[in-house]
Structure 1
Amino acid sequence: MICAAMVMLMTPGLAFFYGGMVRVKSALNMLMMSFISLGIVSILWVLYGYSIAFSGTSPIVGDLDFIGLRDISVDQGEVVAFIAFQLMFAILTPALMSGALADRVKFSTWAVFITLWVTVVYFPVAHWVWAADEGWLFNQGVIDFAGGTAVHINAGAGALAAALVVGKRIGFKRDPMRPHNLPMVLLGAALLWFGWFGFNAGSALTTGSGSPAAMMALNTQVATGAAVVGWLIYERIRHGAFTTLGAASGAIAGLVAITPSGANVNPMGAILIGLLAGAICAWAVSLKFKLGYDDSLDVVGVHLVGGVVGTLLVGFLATEGAGFEQFGKQALGAVSVMAYSFVVTYLIAQLLQRTIGFRASEDEETAGLDLAFHAETGYDFSQAGSGTVPGSTVTASAEVAAGQKKVDA
């Protein structure tokens, strides 16, 4: 239950991480794209999500034995704790995709997208990977301790598909689109890092004799630290600076990469995975400019690429059974989830775009999504004062308004 609470905190942490990375005019919208997942997915998980993910005997999808969790009682404490823990994974995964679509989608359509996506993508894939003795990837021997395939590759591939359907932001590759609040980004990364101990170590489900929980916790820390270093080294060589954004992004890359593998490698293996993930993901985020897709906040470069790195490397670095055979199993898991998520997400996004519309209007995008969809702004500059500035006919409030326009630009 403690680990479930820690993983729940990751979604608000993600909201801060992404919210600080966007421009000020859409900061609240970015926060809300994560927070709405807490509401929608919690309901769907009880109605049918847990049943699809963890019941039945089919290798592809669960049945509806646990629909509405109607047969779950207070006497089944361990089962209820597991249901609550896995719910937090289901909430976080679609929220991860929101970063690829920042600044340009309708909030109402995003809510519908989350509903459809978790139903036909996340719940079945979770069944493939984690339904013991049932899911087909589980039975193939794919190692995914805490979600390299089911969470990160799944969300990363889906984010790429949705971004291709929605299209590029107005001014992509032309206008500066810098993070508006780097301290908020670092705060979000810190909350994610903290919550990830629950995400990873908690997936052991016990701390009893023989449990990998403690090793997973240690590996989570050292891989993440190594990824920060790996990203910053690449950044210094490539761009000549050690940036705060790079440190935060490197941390997330390391957390992603150690997620599938941390219970099956030793600490030296975890350091290697972190270093490689940090450097490779730092390189991968630049691909959007070369290939021309607009992944606003680098979901593809960090989550898809980091998930693939961690999923594949465990094939060679696992303390038991490492080799080309295990590598092949890992590749099967990565490719199958990537292909399914990309294709189905692309179809969902196209359906929404052609019916209710996924992309915000040009006027809404230009003015900012905070006012367009939420009737609020992240920062109330009107309270800065309205008195006349000595020696000038310009009021303080007008100066603030002018400053706000510059910030928005």
Structure 2
Amino acid sequence: MSVIPTRHYALRTPHLIGRTTETDRIQRAVKDWLRSYAFYFYGPGGIGKTRLLEEIGDRIKQVSFSTRLVGWSGIIDLYLSGMHSNSGIEKAICEAIDPDREYFAHYWDMRSNFEHQHREHMDAHQREMLRTQLAAAFIGAFNTLAGKTRVVLTFDTVELIQYENDLIQTICQVQEEAITVKTWLLETLPQLNNTVIIFAGRPKSMKLDADLRAAFADKSDWCYAAYELAGFDEAETAYYFQEIIAMAIRQKRMRHTIEVEPAWLYAYTGGRPIRLALLIDLAVYSGGDFEDLFSRRLSDHRSPDERWHEIAQRVIARIQELETGYPVVDTLPYLALTRQGLDAKLLHYLEPGWSLDECQQRLDGMKRFTFVKSRPDWPRIYLHDEMYDVLDDPTMGCMALPDRIRW
């Protein structure tokens, strides 16, 4: 097995590759204070939706839009359990755009009162009345702030607005959250002023697209549009690959570059960043190249999806052969099975033979892979969404749940 150098973060390019059309469109909208905009960018897992939202946030923080202020909500990821309620989303927005509570002071007072009365077991009618008043206070405070500041709200993984607990969380008795936020999105967001809203999700959430389009349709000061995100083209695919490899060499994660024919990379990945990431992880951490995975014929007119499916099982098998100080094959199945994220405490619950400290070390070791999602402010780590689909496939060789869990 190949042992991976100690790095507790994944490789990523310092700048966004491609997406010029999308970023230009968003920047024009941010600068147009005469109207509010809502954009829905959709595409399959691993196409780069989150990376686009991160880039928008970076540009807002680094670039001055004339002399006017621009506030950003941060990425509100509906995958995270804290974002499965109206109050969770409102809290995230308030803390991001008004950290000093200058504009939302009344809202916070009302919220504190609401939470206190909620603990005192108020009846359903009173709870709904107070919740309506709280929503009105949020909208009022937001629009007061928006009179001076252009606000950008970014929502990720919107296909999960109606969320179901995964099997592991049910087994481990993780408390179910209030999970329906669709009504809040459809009723509250169109009432906000001087705002640009960016949604990102998978195509299966196109029903949400239709509902959002209807919600914004009668708002004369709003412009709504949906756009599909495609993968990299062949040139962008090659550039992305070489940029990451060069970074790995600079960080001494690998000793020398590898040359891969761009046509082969594109033919087998279709320019999907997550597929490229898996091949890059193999190139960086297995100590060798991966061209032996590729067929020597590109004249069979198969699609990139068909070609990827041909090699995916072998790619995953090789990933599982790696080590981070602990065998990846032992830890990866638990990440695949815990879609609401995995932390050391939960991993220790599932594998009591591993100490809590060992569980933390195992998870820290997994953070260096580009197919793993983690942030300093996240208590848990996750796989990129397409990885869940790949590892759900029984042909991928990931050990079945009954064989992994001590029931």
Q: Same fold (TM over 0.5)?
A: no
TM-score (norm 1): 0.29
TM-score (norm 2): 0.29
